[in-house]
Structure 1
Amino acid sequence: MKNPLFTSTRVIVAIIITLIMFFPIYWMLITALKTSSELRMAVPTFWPEKLMWENFASAFKAIPFYRFTVNTVIQTVGIVFLQINIGIMAAYAFSKGTFPGRDALFVLVLAALIVPEQVVFVPIYVMLSKIGWINTYYALIIPHAASAYGIFLLRQMFRSINNDVIEAAKVDGASRLQVLYRILTPMAMPTVATLTVISFIHSWNAYFWPLVMTNSNKMRVLTVGISMMRDSIAGDEALNMHLLMSASILVILPIVIMFVFAQKYIVAAMANSTFK
């Protein structure tokens, strides 16, 4: 029998933690809906005196928002597509393939997880500069075409699938690609969906790499655009914080929507991602 005091305490603690985690998002939202005069008040208000929905339109006009959005979408879709497909093929090789040095190579893939991109961006930048890819979509997408974490997640999922399923498919005449994309991938859909969400969030929020690899508004992405907006109002942030928060909300909205619809897949995938 459950202890009522323990249950109540657990619920209260969960509510407090939730409020603490949600408060910054709430503050960003109400700041985006305030007027500049309300932002200058000595005592901050916890709800706008007047809801200024037009702040979002003003933020959209403050920078080339449409162009930055197109660039961000192209970058994100390209990275997600490549990471999913390369991850599926690599994970299949590491989980079901038999070749010399398989486990050693997989350890090298895992070692890539501990190397931050700031360590390797200089040689990559020099290489891309020599082939003329700076300020192009190639520079934004190709260096992130593979995800070590994605390969790890998919490998763990594929290892949990019985080899008899693959052998039965081969007996029925299925090719290697058909086995991979018509048999294994649907069975690993929770992990694939999780990797899609993780890759989408990382690509959509990318700042350092697009900042280094682009130098014109024609190729900038949203994260860099918001930074440009902040720099353009340096010294007057208090007067224009509502515009910065409005732009930030427009940027994170697609991530929130995707996460809401995919959270059940993330939980299912994490349950199967233990190292085997």
Structure 2
Amino acid sequence: MSSKGLLITTRYTVAILITLLMFFPLYWLLITSLKSPDELKAAIPTFWPERIAWENYSDAFHAAPFGRYALNTLIQTVGIVVLQLNISLLAAYAFAKGNFWGRDKWFFLVIAALIVPDQVTFVPVYVMMAKLGWLNTFLALIIPNGVSAYSIFLLRQTFKSLNNDVLEAAKVDGSNRFHIIYRILVPMAFPTVVTVIILKFIGSWNSYFWPLIMTNTNDMRVLTVGIAMLKNSVGGSEMLNWHLLMAGSVIVIAPIVILFVFAQKYIVAAMSHSTFK
């Protein structure tokens, strides 16, 4: 084998090994969700269920009000995506095509917000939500997450790469700013818009910390918090309920895995336009 062929073989081998290492936790999650409690207690773990226990999913679904959790998660996710996308589009247009004093300095402040973790700001926001009487409501779950610096950054970088001649022609034809944004820029930046939707959908669907502190009743809990509650919902120690915990986890992650598989090409296209300009 030539040195070039050996190099290619080595690269493929390393890539396959890294892929297997990354996907093994997901594989273990899936097969654990299909094992019986007795098999999980065995001293030697098995890499494939001796008997596929599909009933684990129905048991997990009935062990906690997953239907309500799923509805709450969907409302929260859709609300955040819609609100954040519209705010990000307007802000990105202003930073990319607007002409006002301190535009780049203001944008730098937006980017600086990326380094501030949610744990730093959640106390004042929590106090604000409490004073407004929004705790245990969808307003508390959606409104504080209505702005994303990263979404603004992605859209702004894409908008800056678009030719201004089309926008100037639209202005001559009498188009207002909203028409330019939603009827011209959004179709031209479609991969980035889809990427923002996907990333925020995944982030909101997987959100745990914020719903945990903003809600404390079953009627308002989301799926991620529901999984944490599931370990104590079946009598006994959580060590006896791994099959239910894993089945519930598969139910939670299945929608976002499917979404990512079908939309990954848009994410790749959007990232190619996200460099600083």
Using structure 1 for the length normalisation, give the TM-score: 0.97
Give the whole-Å Cα distance in 2 for the aligned partners of 1:86 and 1:234.
46
Inter-CA distance 209–234: structure 2 relative to 1 (3 Å threshold) = farther
Inter-CA distance 220–236: structure 2 relative to 1 (3 Å threshold) = same
Question: Is 2:55 the partner of 1:54?
Answer: yes
TM-superposed CA distance for 1:240, in Å, is: 1.1
For 1:70, the equivalent position in structure 2 comes to 71
> Which aligned pairs between 1:105-254 and structure 2 lie closer than 5 A?
105-232=106-233, 236-254=237-255
CA contact (8 A) 2:64 2:233 kept: no
Give the whole-Å Cα distance in 2 for the aligned partners of 1:127 and 1:22.
41
Inter-CA distance 235–115: structure 2 relative to 1 (3 Å threshold) = farther
Give the whole-Å Cα distance in 1 for the aligned partners of 2:13 and 2:30.
25
Partner AA of 1:175 in structure 2: N
CA contact (8 A) 2:63 2:234 kept: no
For 2:8, the equivalent position in structure 1 comes to 7
Give the whole-Å Cα distance in 1 for the aligned partners of 2:244 and 2:223.
14
Give the whole-Å Cα distance in 1 for the aligned partners of 2:55 and 2:78.
30
TM-superposed CA distance for 1:34, in Å, is: 0.4
Give a deviation string over 1:43-94, Cα, whole Å, max 9, x none.
Answer: 1111001001110000000111000100000000000011111100000000
- How many residues in Structure 1 have an aligned counterpart in Structure 2? 276
TM-superposed CA distance for 1:231, in Å, is: 3.6
CA contact (8 A) 1:40 1:238 kept: no
Inter-CA distance 4–118: structure 2 relative to 1 (3 Å threshold) = same
Partner AA of 2:187 in structure 1: P
Give the whole-Å Cα distance in 1 for the aligned partners of 2:125 and 2:28.
39
For 1:33, the equivalent position in structure 2 comes to 34
Say what the alpha-carbon RMSD is for the aligned residues: 1.3
CA contact (8 A) 1:39 1:238 kept: no
SS at 2:42 equivalent: coil
Give the whole-Å Cα distance in 1 for the aligned partners of 2:117 and 2:235.
30
Give a deviation string over 1:222-276, Cα, whole Å, max 9, x none.
Answer: 0000001124459633321010000000000010011011100000111110011
TM-superposed CA distance for 1:3, in Å, is: 1.1
CA contact (8 A) 2:34 2:52 kept: yes
CA contact (8 A) 1:72 1:221 kept: yes
Partner AA of 1:147 in structure 2: S
Over the matched positions of the two proteins, sequence identity in percent amounts to 64
SS at 1:3 equivalent: helix
Moved >6 Å (runs of 4+): none
Gaps of 5+ in 2: none
CA contact (8 A) 1:71 1:221 kept: yes
For 2:89, the equivalent position in structure 1 comes to 88
Partner AA of 1:73 in structure 2: L
Give the whole-Å Cα distance in 2 for the aligned partners of 1:88 and 1:264.
21
Give the whole-Å Cα distance in 2 for the aligned partners of 1:214 and 1:159.
40
CA contact (8 A) 1:37 1:239 kept: no
For 1:258, the equivalent position in structure 2 comes to 259
SS at 2:162 equivalent: coil
TM-superposed CA distance for 1:175, in Å, is: 1.6
Using structure 2 for the length normalisation, give the TM-score: 0.97
Partner AA of 1:75 in structure 2: Q
